[in-house]
Amino acid sequence: MNYKDFFSNLGFNFKSDLENSIMEFEKKENLSKKLKNSVLFYKSPNNTNTSFYLITTELSSTEIEDIRKYIWNKNDADLIFYYPDEDAKLVMFYAKYSPKISNEESKLDTFSTSEKDLEKIEQIKLWKFDSGVFWLNYSKFITKAKYKGIDKELVNTLNALRDQLNVILSKLILDKRECNKTVQALIDRTLYIKYLEDKHIINSRFYDYYFKDASLNYQKILENYSDADVNKLFKIIHEIFNNNLFEQPTIDDKYLTNEIRNLIATSFKANTNSGQLRLFDFQFDVLPVEFISYIYEVFLSDKQKENGIYYTPKKLAQLIVDDVINEDRIGSILDPSSGSGMFLIVGYQRLLEIAKKQGLEPQDSIGKIKFRSKLLADNIFGIEKELTAQRFTIFSLSLQIFEGIDPVDIKEYITNELSQKGKVELFSGFSFFENIKQANSLNILEKTFENKQFSYLLGNPPFFKIPNTNEYSDEISFLNSYEVNQVKEDKKLIAKNIVGTSQISQCFFLKIKDWSNENTRFGFVSNSSNFYNDRSESFQEYFYSKYGIEKIYELSRVKKILFEKANESVIALIFTNNLKNNIIEYYPVDLGLFSEKPFELLIIQEDKVVEIEQKKLIIKKNKLRDFLVGNLFDINLTEKLGDNKKLIHSYSSIGRGFQIWGETARKKEFGITKEMWRSFDEQIKKTYLNRFIKKFFNEYEDNTYNKSYIKPSNLKPFVKLPSQKFISDLSNFERPISNKETYLGSKLMFTRIGSKLNCVYSSDNDYFDFSIYTIKLKNKNLYYLFQAILNSNIIEYYLDFYLRKRVFDSFSRIGNEDILNIPIPKNLDQNLIDKISNISKDLTERKFEFSEKRQELNELIYELYELSYWEKQRIRDYFLPKNKIGRKKNKLDNYKTTINEVLSFYLKNSITIEETPTDFNLIVMKISLNSNSDTPKADATKRFILNEVFENNPNGNFLASQEKIFGQDCVYIIKEDINTNWSETKAFEDGQDILKHIITSEDGERIH
């Protein structure tokens, strides 16, 4: 069977699905000829990761390796199908494996085109690629150990080259900063030249004209020519391409030693001795240009990463740009913290897409270059404090001009210009380099782009607390002097009146007003704490009252696939200057089945969107944090709980323990000043701390060390574990706490960090550090009751959903104010108080284990708070330990009963519910809304149930992890096989959601 018949039988259309593609191999003409009219490309829908190349000519093993390397570099396909002739087998390769992986190891499967493989061939039908169901059968074949994306491989390769250059140049350039600048310049110039050579923009004619040797290339100049010739090449490229990367910094000839030149030249050769890739393995003529921005990570210092400076992945930048430039309107773009330029690159690509759609871009290659250069110069602007990042922004944007343009046209143009005029002026007409400023956006004296307003403002500003050091003098001046366009109590506000905890990202959100007008659209990444932290309330008040928010993407749960090393969670915001009756679309983005490598999909599920009235944020009826963990049902429950009295009405004092170690303690004990301490390395600092601990803590109690030291690990619910350390005088420590009563007598102790309070009532004298809070009550008879309440599920639920900070980050915590706002029942039923207090007392005296009384105690406390059945069940289900259901079908009975009750109340016809476990650790439940439904049954052959669901509902996207697929007269619910997904609470929520889809409103529209 020929390939056209074979793929047509699979459902592919050779006019719309499979398009002819060209692969050129300059140094391998025979391979290029073989591939002519023998390469087709299938581009998959978004978020299915099923694009593939089809190769239909006979190839040798080496030629297959060359094609795999080419496609790996191009990074636009996930698979390669090899179908050389009618009698051969169809071979399927995984396209994302490194070229160092053998052809045999890269095979995912082999198909016979005969009838014996008909069942297997079913797995590669068109609809499976369109829906993503293809991966149902094949993801398990992908070995993560073999997979490393080309972006990561390129960074690793350049890291090795950078380290080697640093070793040599650090002996010649003693100033570390200057050495780093020279290393970077050598690397980015090398990459730019490799790009021009791989594209054949500079070629034999170029080298013949300037060096009188047509056989030359960059590698040969490095190996055989002098240091002056290397600099001569840099100067020529600067003159032709108007690229200031080759002008500054000047690299002295004496630094271009034989050793340096040979090291760079070696990177252009294949590495036959190890699996380490070199620049030789990367083809810049096909490699996506935006990967250049990723190289920025090579040059980021550990300090910068600690300070919240990260490369923005393209998928996040694309999401934001698509929302911001949501109409086909070309306009100016500014990124005030441009980093390596990802937002500007994606923004420029969007403007170019609009220009093409509107027929503005010329058809000829030279006309395209002139048009694109002007489009860049007129519309793309950036500000970046770090020189390294600014250079990569310029580098990445300069390459965008050449994307999709036939290099032959450029090559011939340059050749003709040189022969006729002796110079090339193509790139001199418009220059965008001056648009990308190395400057500080927060400098209030040197105001970059002053009085200029932009159509679009995009970015991912750094997020950290501004240190009080000379290095950040501009930022400190901004805090102290920048006037905000907001009058309060007849006084003009300055930045520090609004910015919480000196957070630098909040400063950017104030500053961007200066570059905007009433029509400007904004899209920014922000640290979540700006909008969730109580210490940023003034900033939140400013933001909500000054900007009209359209969308918020809550990205806390997916930060590991966006920012691998980030400690803090982030959100993405789309907003304008127009504050009306804004309804914010809030997307709680979650990890899906395919969020891990190699897919790392960022899935935005439209059916999970929550609508928030911005005016409720302004008047503080809601906080954005309310929507972080739960949904509207949880918000309603926390609001009900919040209507009770607060703990603040029942306490007499609240306090924290002492701080062990700090500047005062160091100076008192060792005479170490702040300046001295900063100069010490980590080992010396650790030594001093150990000496301090050894002196002031003892493992045994005696007449001197007579105070038991309580750590958070000593506290468990209702129980204080024996102390392992003892202390003497509190005055030895950093902050000893002046109110000694905090430690003495009756009190409730609990931990401020972690997922549980671990509350303990103690009447002893206990000494603890600042990781522990303590509360003393006005009414001493309520200690056992309050101990039970603070250890209850209801309070842990309330804290998680409403009060706890950094829920998805390291060291989630609560503060004093949170504790005092814990709800206490309005009406304390004495009978319930007695029962709860008695159990609490028994647990404190260790008559029972908490596990023995936990359920009984929680049920009594539910009654004390007067919760309904569904409110109790919501909290019970929240604390369900996660378990797989598997074949235990009875575990789904409560879910099925509940959803049946919810739906049947509104529907005339009876419904039927059936379920089955299936591949991918999923459960599929089919709810038939019509007893005569002829759609696929859930108990069909388990291996193919998902195939049937998606084949009958072709618009469904399997990789997007859709929970509900609505058929003609049924609903399929597809969720992971985890009991928390199939609880009674989830059944109630799913039933409500289904009703919104199937019950129409008066105008005939579906209710959403």
552 in Cβ contact with 586 (< 8 Å): yes
- State the Cα–Cα distance between residues 551 and 441, nearest whole angstrom: 25
| CATH number of the CATH domain containing 791 | 3.90.220.20
Residue 55's Cβ-count burial label (10 Å; 0-12, 13-18, 19+) is: buried
Run of H or E residues at 668: helix 663-670
Query: pLDDT tens digits, residue range 12-22?
Result: 999 999 999 99
Count of domains observed in the chain? 6
Domain end call among 87, 113, 148:
148
Considering the domain architecture, whether residues 492 and 386 belong to the same structural domain is answered as: no
Task: Please tell me whether residue 662 adopts helix, strand or coil conformation.
Answer: coil
Kind and range of the H or E run holding 259 = helix 258-266
pLDDT in tens, 873-898: 999 999 988 888 876 767 889 999 99
The three state secondary structure string of 575-594 is: EECCCCCCEEEEEECCCCCC
Same domain, 917 and 803: no
Q: What is the pLDDT of residues 533-590, one digit of tens each?
A: 878 999 999 999 999 999 999 988 887 777 766 667 889 999 999 988 889 999 988 7
Whether the link from the prior residue into 598 is cis, omega within 30° of 0, is yes
| 301-357: pLDDT as tens digits | 555 555 555 668 888 899 999 999 999 999 999 999 998 889 999 999 999 999 999
Q: What does the alpha-carbon distance between residue 562 and residue 560 come to, in Å, rounded to a whole number? A: 5
What is the side-by-side strand order in the sheet with 521-527?
436-438, 380-384, 333-335, 456-459, 521-527, 570-576, 548-554, 583-588, 610-613
d(CA 639, CA 820) in angstroms, rounded, equals: 16
**716 and 809 belong to one structural domain:** yes
Compute φ and ψ for 59, nearest 5 degrees: -135, 150
Per DSSP, the three-state class of 673 is coil
The model's confidence at residue 921, banded by pLDDT at 50, 70 and 90, is confident
Confidence of residue 594 (pLDDT cuts 50, 70, 90): low
Residue 643: burial class (beta carbons within 10 Å; 0-12, 13-18, 19+): exposed
Domain edge (last residue) among 264, 287, 310 = 287
Please identify which residue in the block is written with the tokens 């099923």: 50
- The whole-number average pLDDT for the span 681-691 is 92
631 lies in a domain? no
Identify each DSSP E strand in 325-378 by its residue range. Answer: 333-335
Same domain for 238 and 165, yes or no, is yes
User: Rounded distance, CA 471 to CA 467, Å?
Assistant: 8
Select, from the ranges 78-87, 176-185, 206-215, 540-549, the one with the highest average predicted confidence (pLDDT).
Answer: 540-549
Compute the half-sphere exposure of residue 868: CA atoms within 13 Å on the CB side of its CA. 6
Tell me the CA end-to-end span of the chain in Å, nearest whole number. Answer: 49
For residue 79, pLDDT beyond 50: yes
Return the HEC string of 753-780.
ECCCCCCEEECCCCEEECCEEEEEECCH
Q: How far apart are CA 150 and CA 147, in angstroms?
A: 9
| 533 in a structural domain | yes
Strand pairing category for 52-55 and 39-42: antiparallel
C-alpha span between 317 and 325 (Å, rounded): 12
Query: pLDDT per residue over 204-246, tens digit each?
Result: 888 989 999 989 999 999 988 777 889 899 999 888 887 777 8
* Beta bridge partner(s), residue 707: 727
**Distance (Å, whole) CA 180 – CA 666:** 36
For range 729-750, the mean pLDDT = 83
CB neighbours of 190 closer than 8 A, spacing ≥ 6?
A: 218, 264, 267, 279
For residue 61, the SS3 value is helix
603 and 544 within one domain: yes
Q: Is 926:937 a contact under the CB 8 Å cutoff? A: yes
Q: How far is CA 375 from CA 221, 381, 796, in A?
A: 35, 11, 55
Domain of 336 in residue numbering reads as 288-432
**Which residue type, as a one-letter code, is found at position 210?**
Y
- Domain end, chosen from 255, 287, 319, is at 287
Q: For residue 773, how many C-alpha atoms fall within 13 Å in the half-sphere facing its CB?
A: 23
Token duo for residue 84: 């050389």
Can you tell me the distance from the alpha carbon of 428 to that of 239, in angstroms, rounded to the nearest whole number?
9
pLDDT in tens, 111-123: 887 767 777 888 8
- Among 65-74, 136-145, 323-332, the range scoring the smallest mean pLDDT is 136-145
Residue 111, beta-bridge partner list: 90
276 and 197 in a single domain? The answer is yes
SS3 state of residue 597: coil
Mean pLDDT, to the nearest integer, of 502-521? Answer: 96
Mean pLDDT score of the chain: 85
Find the angle CA(521)-CA(525)-CA(530) to the nearest 5 degrees: 105
Contacts of 739 (CB under 8 A, 6+ apart): 653, 655
Pairing outcome for strands 772-777 and 645-646:
unpaired
869 shares a domain with 789: yes
pLDDT bucket at 802, cuts 50 / 70 / 90 = confident
pLDDT-derived band at 805 (thresholds 50, 70, 90) equals low
Residues 351 and 404 in one domain: yes
Looking at residue 523, what DSSP letter applies?
Answer: E
State the residue for tokens 């954005």: 624
- Residue 135 · residue 52 · CB < 8 Å: no
Residues 541, 606, single domain; the answer is yes
The reported pLDDT for the residue numbered 966 is 80
Determine the pLDDT at residue 1000: 59
Tell me if 253 sits within 8 A of 228, measured CB to CB. yes
Task: Give the helix/strand (H/E) hosting 824.
Answer: strand 823-824
Co-location of 846 and 868 in the same domain: yes
403 and 416 assigned to the same domain: yes
Report whether pLDDT(750) > 80: yes
Using 50, 70 and 90 to split pLDDT, how confident is the model at 920? low
The DSSP output letter for 881 is P
In whole angstroms, what is the distance from residue 953 CA to residue 955 CA? 6
Are residues 685 and 580 part of one domain?
A: no
Q: Is residue 989 part of a domain?
A: yes
CA-CA-CA-CA dihedral for 127, 132, 137, 143, to nearest 10: 140
pLDDT band (50, 70, 90) for residue 274: low
Contact (Cβ atoms closer than 8 angstroms) between residue 548 and residue 613:
no
Best CA proximity match to 338, nearest among 400, 288, 380: 380
pLDDT at position 1006, please?
A: 38
Q: Look up tokens 């220009």; give the residue.
A: 355
Tell me the C-alpha distance between 664 and 662, whole Å: 6
Cis peptide before 249 (omega within 30 of 0): yes
Q: ∠ at Cα 810 (805, 813), nearest 5°?
A: 30
- Structure-token match 């915590």, residue found: 813
Tokens encoding 86: 């009618």
Query: How high is the pLDDT of residue 864?
Result: 95
413 in a structural domain: yes
What region, left, alpha or beta, does residue 115 occupy, with left being phi > 0 and alpha being psi -120 to 50 degrees? alpha
3-state secondary structure 137-192: HHHHHCCCCCECCHHHHHHHHHHHHHHHHHHHHCCCCCCHHHHHHHHHHHHHHHHH
Domain assignment present for residue 1005? The answer is no
Q: What angle do CA 178, 183, 184 make, to 5 degrees?
A: 100
The answer to whether 344 touches 317, Cβ cutoff 8 Å, is no
Q: 337 vs 175, 457, 976, 987, CA distance in Å?
A: 27, 10, 40, 45
Within-domain flag for 635: no
Q: What does the block give as tokens for 187?
A: 């690397």
